[in-house]
Amino acid sequence: MHLGFEIADLETQKGFWTAKEIEQQPNCWKQTLSIAETNRATAADFLEPLYAKENLRIVMTGAGTSAFAGKTLAPILSKVLDRRVEAIATTDLVSNPYQYLAENIPTLLVSFARSGNSPESVHAVELASQILGECYHLVVTCNEEGKLFQRCKEDAKSLAILMPAETNDQSFAMTSSFSSMMVAAFSLLAHKNEYSKEFENVCKQSETLLKEIVPTLGKMVEQNAKRVIYLGSGGFQGLAQESALKLLELTAGKVVAMYDSPLGFRHGPKSIVNNETLIVVFISNDEYTRKYDLDLLKELRRDGIAQQVVAVAGRIDDVVTDGDYILIDSMENASDIELVFPYLIVAQVYSFLNSLALNNTPDNPCPTGEVNRVVQGVTLHQFEK
């Protein structure tokens, strides 16, 4: 069984790989942490001379879900490393390199890629190396045969880290690839900061969550929301963007999904809320940020317009429990990087169950081919510096 479904039923509904890959994540994270530990000395030799450069710019990049890995991690890593970390998608870098790479300073480009064969993946690396006088590459990918891994593994200015083979997801939507690449990148880039015990608890609590969360999320799916809004502050905004994309992908756009920050949502996007709207607020454990999250949570519930407002939290208080909520057990003292992973599972499972409820085929939700597992139809144009 996967996510409580019999294998035969999942195969009939063409959802076997998606369910398996969501459920396997805690085990993949354990393997990924072992890979990171094996590569720690090599990574330190590669990163320490770069971190010694006071004007080093760190750019996290990727396309689609891979871009959101960087968007989730960048604010969190900025705090951990006490230095500048940005997230810029390859889909932006490739089409506008003269804008995003205008600052010719030492740069570490961190590339996330499930297959490493998306047209923009290798091209972004090549453009950065072409335009910048001093550019280095950390590649985190799930496919040993991918063009990106092959290009970077022998390059002196590159370090390529390969994820466990099973994270090269067979399903359309990225799940275990997304989360495992984040585990690896954070573990290696956090440098001398030690998070092994924290990630052990993340794996443990996520395993428990996967066993218990399906009935709760199933009831949410039964509400048949036509619009779903994910809200999160800081790194959780990147997670909210990925959560919205996962729902759009697995429902083939039958459910409208969007994302924002709690503060940003008031500035116009709140207009989308009606009585067929589910709003999910990812609550930070940071004392300061949490105040803003809870302020909006109270406001949305007080408005009484949305069909349902759900808080996803690692710690409860009177505001969280004054309405629908999902609590991640034993995470009341967790940092936000730890909460990212169980929060992600909530969004993934909800999207999967929604896909099944709509009679979609989660493993290939767009069989007519308008969108593909590895993007197609991109023409790459030569850039003249």
Residue 256: its pLDDT value, please? 96
In the chain, domain spans? 7-194, 205-357
Cα separation of 347 and 217, whole Å?
9
Cα distances (Å, whole numbers) of residue 101 to 29, 75, 88, 160, 161: 33, 20, 10, 22, 24
Cα separation of 247 and 60, whole Å?
24
Residue 381: its pLDDT value, please? 73
Class for the domain spanning 7-194: alpha beta
Are both 7-194 and 205-357 of the same fold? yes
Residue 107 φ/ψ region, left for φ over 0, alpha for ψ in the -120 to 50 degree band, beta for the rest: beta
CATH topology of domain 205-357: Rossmann fold (3.40.50)
Among candidate residues 155, 160, 154, the one with its CA nearest the CA of residue 116: 160
Cα separation of 338 and 235, whole Å?
11
For residue range 2-53, what is the model confidence (pLDDT) as tens digits?
999 999 999 999 999 999 999 999 999 999 999 999 999 999 999 999 999 9
Query: Can you say how many angstroms the Cα of residue 308 is from the centroid of all Cα atoms in its chain?
Result: 24
What is residue 270's three-state secondary structure?
Answer: helix
Residue for token digits 């048949």? 224
Among candidate residues 17, 130, 95, the one with its CA nearest the CA of residue 373: 17
Residue 117: its pLDDT value, please? 85
Residue for token digits 């991690």? 73
Residue 325: its pLDDT value, please? 98
**What is the three-state SS of 60-110?**
EECCCHHHHHHHHHHHHHHHHHCCCEEECCHHHHCCCHHHHCCCCCCEEEE
Cα distances (Å, whole numbers) of residue 283 to 81, 107, 239: 23, 33, 12
Cα separation of 162 and 147, whole Å?
13
Cα separation of 112 and 249, whole Å?
19
User: Which portions of the chain are predicted below pLDDT 70?
Assistant: 367-378, 380, 385
Counted residue by residue, the chain has a size of 385
Supply the DSSP symbol for 190: T
- Report yes or no: 19 and 352 within 8 Å, Cβ to Cβ: yes
For residue range 279-327, what is the model confidence (pLDDT) as tens digits?
999 999 999 999 999 999 999 999 999 999 999 999 999 999 999 999 9
Q: Is residue 192 classed exposed, middle or buried when 0-12, 13-18 and 19+ CB atoms within 10 A define those classes? A: exposed
pTM: 0.95
Among candidate residues 182, 51, 146, 163, the one with its CA nearest the CA of residue 108: 51
